Amino acid sequence: MTEDHERIDELLAGYVLLSLSGEEATEADRILVDHVPTCATCRATLSQFQAVSGDLALAAPPVHPPETLLPRLHHAMDEVPLAGRTPRRGALIAVAASAVALVAMGGLSLVLGNRLSNAETRTGTALEILSAMRAPGASPVNVSPQDQTPPESGMVEVSAPDFRRLYIAAEFCPEPAPGHAYQLWLGSNGEWTPVGEMFWPDDGVLLLEVEGVDVSRYDEIWITEEAVAQPPTEPSTDGRSWFGSLT
């Protein structure tokens, strides 16, 4: 495929600055998956623009964080379950399923959910879900418990054509088995893309927002319980799971 590199450079510049929206964001995603990985020039451009974007942060005046921040961080680190974990690239794979795109997206940004979310943030997410349900073209999808999964743990997926965002909500999400975590997958024509590992909230009330996802590309959603010691390459059918059709 012949690509217009001036146009691609424009998209990459907007992409690293997080300033694309609508069709252009979709086009950038396509370029990142279809073209950039195979084009040395574009890979270099993306990498260089990423470096510029990182350094632009230094233009802001440095500010001392509050003294309480590091102790809070230490406390939060203690809460993060790390025992028995091995590094999991698979848990961080971006929807674009491209190593280049993963870096471009900031890598860590697609860890799903936030253990540190305060009540205001959760309320905000809940309000966004309600708003998304009313958006034109939005149709909430039941993501239903399968097999041995508790029947009262049904989830709802909400997305809309123009959102590039996906929400998942559940009143009761059971705690994953020891050494396991829930993994979100999106499927298209039987091919499954790992979106990320979902944090399990202590109270089981799931309010999850995933940014930058073009749900219209997919026809199925699957949440599976995966052993954290092994990066999942395909959905497991051994543990709990939830499944929904997006079409």
Partner 1 sequence: MDEDDRHDLELHRLVSGRERSAFDELYRRYGRSAYGVALRVTSQDLIAQEVVQDAFLALWRAPEAFDPARGAFRSFFLSLVHHRAVDAVRREERLRRRTERAANLEPATGEDPAEDVVEDAYLRVRRKEVRAALATLPPAQQQVLEMAYFEGKTQMRIAEELGIPIGTVKTRTLAAMRKLREALREE
Q: Whole-angstrom Cα distance, residue 70 to residue 157?
A: 35
CB of 78 to partner 1, least distance (A): 10
Residue from 33, 37, 107, 144 touching partner 1 (CB under 8 A): that is 107
Q: CA 200 to CA 179: how far, in whole Å?
A: 12
Among 1, 4, 40, 82, binds partner 1 (CB under 8 A): 82
111 binds partner 1 (CB under 8 A): yes
Length of the chain: 247
Q: What is the DSSP string of 99-123?
A: HHHHHHTTSGGGSBS-TT--HHHHH
Question: Does 84 participate in binding partner 1 (rule CB under 8 A)?
Answer: no
Size of the site for partner 1 (CB under 8 A): 65
> Any contact of residue 3 with partner 1 (CB under 8 A)?
no
Task: Indicate the angle between helix axes 40-56 and 5-16, nearest 10 degrees.
Answer: 30
Rounded to a whole number of angstroms, the minimum distance from the CB of residue 155 to partner 1 is: 21
Please tell me whether residue 109 binds partner 1 under the rule CB under 8 A.
Answer: yes
CB of 145 to partner 1, least distance (A): 28
Binding flags for partner 1, 140-179, as an x/- string (CB under 8 A): ----------------------------------------
Contacts of 63 (CB under 8 A, 6+ apart): none
Cβ nearer to partner 1, comparing 66 with 151 = 66
Among 4, 66, 189, 247, binds partner 1 (CB under 8 A): 66
Please, are residues 218 and 186 in contact by the beta-carbon 8 Å criterion? yes
Q: Give Cβ neighbours of residue 193 (< 8 Å, ≥ 6 apart).
A: 93, 95, 97, 185, 186, 187, 218
Instruction: Dihedral sign for Cα 125, 128, 132, 134, please.
Output: positive
Among residue numbers 20 through 59, which ones bind partner 1 (CB under 8 A)? 20-22, 24, 47-59
Give the H or E element holding residue 176: none
Out of 26, 114, 144, 216, the only residue in the binding site for partner 1 (CB under 8 A) is 114
Binds partner 1 (CB under 8 A): choice among 41, 131, 188, 230: 131
Q: What tokens does 58 get?
A: 């230094």
* Nearest distance in Å: CB 150, partner 1: 27
Q: Which residues contact 198 (CB under 8 A, 6 or more apart)?
A: 112, 113, 168, 181, 182, 183, 184, 206, 208, 223
Member of 3, 38, 41, 73 binding partner 1 (CB under 8 A): 73
Which residues are at the interface with partner 1 (CB under 8 A)?
A: 9-10, 13-14, 16-22, 24, 47-66, 69-70, 72-74, 76-77, 80, 82, 87-89, 91-92, 103, 105-109, 111, 114-116, 118, 120-121, 124, 127-128, 131, 209, 211
